[in-house]
Amino acid sequence: MFDGDSTDGSDDGDGGGRRWLAAIPLAMVVALVALVALYLLGVFGAPSVGVADAGEWGTVTEERTEVVTTVWVRNPNPIGTAFGPGLTAEYDIAFNGVTVAVGDESGLAVPPGNTTMRFRTALRNKRIPEWWVAYVRANETLRVAADATVRADVGPSPAVSRTFERDRTMLRESRPVVDAVSGAVDRTRGRYTRTVDFGERAPRLAGGLGLDGESLTVGYEVERGWASWGTVTENRTTMLVHLRVRNPGDVPVPAAPAAVRASVDANGVRLFETDAEALSVRELGADEVLRPGEERTLTVAATMDNDNVDEWFTRHVRNGERSTVTARVRLLVDHPLTNATLRLPADGPATRACSVRTALLVDNRTAGATCGADGPAGVRDRVRSTAHPAPSPSLPSDGNPGRQYSSATEARKATVEMSTE
């Protein structure tokens, strides 16, 4: 009897378990139908996503430059990410084809309603010199490409994604660095001459040569100046300074200046600077002369370590993507008769300062620069009859005036030869 009762109770329990298990799929179906019905009634809806800003500047210090990407999500559902993986975002920024910032986020919770999210990533400062190389090779045309994709999967509704792409090209009509240097070099235009009176400076020599009262004009004329890019490598950038010079005087003068001192600063950071001790004029021998009336184009190379650009770029961003570019140029030439050094210009370096404004990650702005080279209206004629005092040429130790000459021209040539020995 006990056994029979026990058996009947066991049968009833097994039947209840089977009925419970059979009810689970039915409950899931009912829940799914309910969710679909709520979706159709508008209780659940498809989320919407977008990119408010693919890239803007965040905190900028000497050690770190932040780029901030902002996205938004509108989740109309009364629940958040309980039934989905949440929000995923991917973004990257490139300057002139060089990727300088990359970021990705995933599995981010999205609450009901409207949500704005800001993602921060560090600019790859080590790639700024690489960008500089691309920028110079593009003739100082600046291009920025920003891409961002955001995907939201927040509930029973289908997942949605949006992609934002921005491509800007700026400074098409301007070359800020080269134009600034060109403006400074071109401001050296003018005539730089001195008149040498042999009768006063070397009376015995002048008398012996029959040149009493004779005077000679010595100097240079810079007809124009400009700059251009030379070679650019991964580590160094070369800028070429060009000068069209003429000899307006009576005697030959050295064809190459003794030095060309040039520098380029941007927001107080020294970018380019010539080395006066290592100066070399391309394709021109040290002993070549420029004869009276002769013209020639001189080319001098200035180089820069590309790592200098990183410090300038940080200051450029901290200053609201604005820079002041200042170029200074001065020539030093040896006076062939007095052994003095002429400084062109004599009153200080020719200087050109201009402003550069970019819009890499600044919205609602037009990029531009004021670095165009000076035109002819800005040219001043410089006749330096009172240039820096120079010592008198030395006479032979025995005071012998030397041989006699049949003409002043012959004497001038001989005097130049003696002064350059």
pLDDT tens digits along 198-239 = 556 556 655 655 656 667 788 889 999 999 999 999 999 999
Ranges in the chain annotated CATH 2.60.40.10: 48-170, 176-419
Superfamily holding 48-170: Immunoglobulins (2.60.40.10)
CB atoms within 10 A of CB 328: 19
The rounded radius of gyration (Å) of the Cα atoms in the chain is 39
Virtual torsion, Cα 6, 8, 12, 15, nearest 10 deg = 110
Per-residue pLDDT of the chain (421 residues; tens, 9 = 90+): 434 444 454 455 555 555 555 555 655 555 445 445 445 444 456 778 888 988 999 999 888 999 999 999 888 777 655 555 778 899 999 999 999 999 998 888 878 888 899 999 999 999 999 999 999 999 999 999 999 999 887 666 678 888 998 899 999 988 999 999 999 999 999 998 888 765 565 566 556 556 566 677 888 899 999 999 999 999 999 999 999 999 998 778 888 788 888 899 999 999 998 865 444 455 555 568 889 999 999 888 888 999 999 999 999 999 999 999 999 998 888 766 666 777 888 888 999 999 999 999 998 889 999 987 443 333 333 333 223 323 323 222 223 333 333 333 343 343 333 333 3
The Cα–Cα gap between 2 and 14 comes to 19
| CATH (one of 2.60.40.10, 3.30.70.930, 3.30.300.10, 1.10.10.10) for 176-419 | 2.60.40.10
Beta bridge partners of 218: 194
Reported for 276-280, long-range contacts at CB under 8 A and 24+ positions apart, including other chains, are 276/332
- DSSP state, residue 346: T
Single-letter residue type at 177: V
Alpha helices in 138-258 (DSSP H): 176-186, 198-201, 203-209
Q: What is the DSSP string of 153-188?
A: E-SSSPPEEEEEEEEEEE-TT--HHHHHHHHHHHTT
Greatest extent of the chain over all pairs of C-alpha atoms, in Å: 160
Name the residue type at position 16: G
Amino acid letter, residue 23: A
Using DSSP bridges, classify how beta strands 289-290 and 215-232 pair: parallel, antiparallel or unpaired: unpaired
- Tens of pLDDT, residue by residue over 81-96, are 555 577 889 999 999 9
CA distance 268 to 278: 24
Omega prior to 129 cis, within 30 of 0: no
- The structure tokens listed for 104 are 């990705």
Cα 102 to Cα 120: distance, rounded to the nearest angstrom: 10
Evaluate whether 188 touches 384 at the Cβ level (below 8 Å): no
**CA–CA dist 260, 160 (Å, integer):** 63
pTM for this entry: 0.73
| 49 beta partners | 73
CB 328 within 8 A of CB 350: yes
**What are the tens digits of pLDDT across the range 38-95?**
454 444 567 788 889 889 999 998 889 999 999 998 887 776 555 557 788 999 999 9
